Structure 1
Amino acid sequence: MEWSLQDAKNQFSKLVQKARRDGPQVVTLRGERAAVVLSAADYDALRAHRPSLIDDLLAGPAWDEELAEAVDRRAKTPSRDAAF
């Protein structure tokens, strides 16, 4: 169901109840979709299958021997002049 922003504000409790019972509710602003109200259960279901940033970083490509050696060979001191 679509709700104008004004109706959504005036009937927020009903909007939330319908989101919980009937699924996502679209809120429009000047006739265009502006927001979607989801039940907590729907939101949790969407988030459940998304990896976190940490998961994404840890799932990066494996380092082959050549890359590992290049990292080990790099200078151990900062490349910038640390003197101020």
Structure 2
Amino acid sequence: MATVQTLDKIRKSLEKHLGKKILLKANKGRKQIITKEGILEKVYPSVFVIKLDDETNGYSRVSYSYSDLLTDNVKLQVFKNQDKLKIS
């Protein structure tokens, strides 16, 4: 089981990338994976919020918990200039 310190480390690593463009890959179940680009907008004690570039799907923001990153249900890549850097 994930400890509070592990989730806190994930949160602190995300705080360093606030406002940066990221690539989001999320597992929605039943082999459905969405891939979207957005900006890491907010980091809260239990969740983080991503503002999506593509608003055609009816929502402009999504939020996930840090345990989603820990269990690989969500993967993030931070864009640095033209390159992508994987953070989890």
TM-score, length basis structure 1: 0.26
| Structure showing the higher strand proportion among its residues | 2
**Larger gyration radius, structure 1 or structure 2:** 1
| Structure showing the higher helix proportion among its residues | 1
